[in-house]
Amino acid sequence: MDDDRVFKALADPTRRLLLDRLFERDGRTLTDLEAGTEMTRFGVMKHLRILEEAGLVVTRRSGREKLHFLNPVPIRLIHDRWIDKYTEGPASLLASLKNALEDNE
Amino acid sequence: MITTTDQIYQVFIKSSPEKIWQAITTPDFTARYFHGARIEVSPERYVSHGPDGATWGDGPVLEYDPPRRLVHQWRSLYDADMAKEQPSRVTWEIEPQEGGYCKLTLTHDQLDSAPKTAASVSGPGWMFVLSGLKTLVETGTPLTGTSLPAAAAS
């Protein structure tokens, strides 16, 4: 919902590693995500909670297990907010060029 | 049953459930953010047509509960290879939040027998649609971005 949470969540190498691991394979359990990190279960849980609060991770219950899914939409929104401004430029430039050329005909 | 091939996307939109529902189910809205597709949704059927009139999708609606929940079958008829795959399923959930926001959650599942579709819609595919939907509903104008499906898939 707000960009600050997304930037804050991304400003940590462990959390980015967790997102990379979910990108490789989605829908993982805490136990699965914990393996391969140097962190305690509690530490990984804490990071996952920050990612979830930022909307970068969405969880679903499946029986007894909680599965974690990567939600890249907030990063896309930041991209669109900044990059969209640039794509407007060339588009309007080409439109003016077309108008100028057609006027000369 | 949740499986690891499921894809879940979530976005917060500052609007009412009714407006978001309208944007998902009305062809004049979908044409402005869903790769130009005109999508018609009735309680029975979900039908999508490309800008040239080609059928991009056609399948039964499984749950129709405006303005909260829509579940429909998904078939990627816009691509010959993907069209041969088994149908998958898309669920749209709209949940009102505090501060005039709604949480829109899109789940695309039953993708086990549709790997090409799964790869095509994953990441940039649905992200582009949801980001465009948010922008359109919140500002009334579509995204100007150049992220066409072909560019997103390459």
Taking only the tens place, the pLDDT of each residue in A9-49 is 999 999 999 999 999 999 999 999 998 788 899 999 999 99
- Using CB atoms and an 8 Å cut-off, which of residues 119-148 of chain B contact chain A? 123-124, 127-128, 130-131, 134-135, 143-146
The count of domains in chain A is: 2
- What does the pLDDT read at residue A56? 96
The count of domains in chain B is: 1
- Average of pLDDT values for B3-9? 85
B77 pLDDT tier (thresholds 50, 70, 90) = very high
Measured between beta carbons, the chain B residues lying within 8 angstroms of A1 are: 12, 97, 101
CATH number of the domain where residue B31 is located: 3.30.530.20
pLDDT for B151 beyond 50? no
Q: Looking at the complex, does the CB of residue A20 fall below 8 Å from at least one CB of chain B? A: no
Q: Are residues A42 and A84 in the same domain?
A: no
- Which range marks the domain in which residue B12 is found? 7-153
Q: Are residues A8 and A45 in the same domain?
A: yes
Question: What's A38's DSSP letter?
Answer: S
**Would you call B127 and A60 a contact, using CB atoms and an 8 Å cutoff?**
no
Q: Which chain A residue shows the shortest CA-CA distance from B109?
A: A27
- Which range marks the domain in which residue A64 is found? 1-71
Q: Are residues A43 and A88 in the same domain?
A: no
C-beta separation of A80 from B134 below 8 A: no
B129: closest CA of chain A, how far (Å): 10
Label residues B45-68 b or e (16+ Cβ within 10 Å = b). ebbbbbeeeeebbebebeebeebe
Q: Which chain A residue shows the shortest CA-CA distance from B105?
A: A58
Q: Are residues A81 and A67 in the same domain?
A: no
Helix, strand counts (H, E) of chain A? 5, 2
In one-letter notation, the amino acid at residue B149 is P
Q: Are residues A2 and A22 in the same domain?
A: yes
CA A70, A73, A75, A76 torsion-angle sign: positive
Q: Looking at the complex, does the CB of residue A15 fall below 8 Å from at least one CB of chain B? A: no
The owner of tokens 């920050």 is: A50
CATH number of the domain where residue A47 is located: 1.10.10.10
Q: Are residues A24 and A53 in the same domain?
A: yes
C-beta separation of A72 from B123 below 8 A: yes
Q: How many CB atoms lie within 10 A of CB A20?
A: 10
Whether B80 is in a domain gets the answer yes
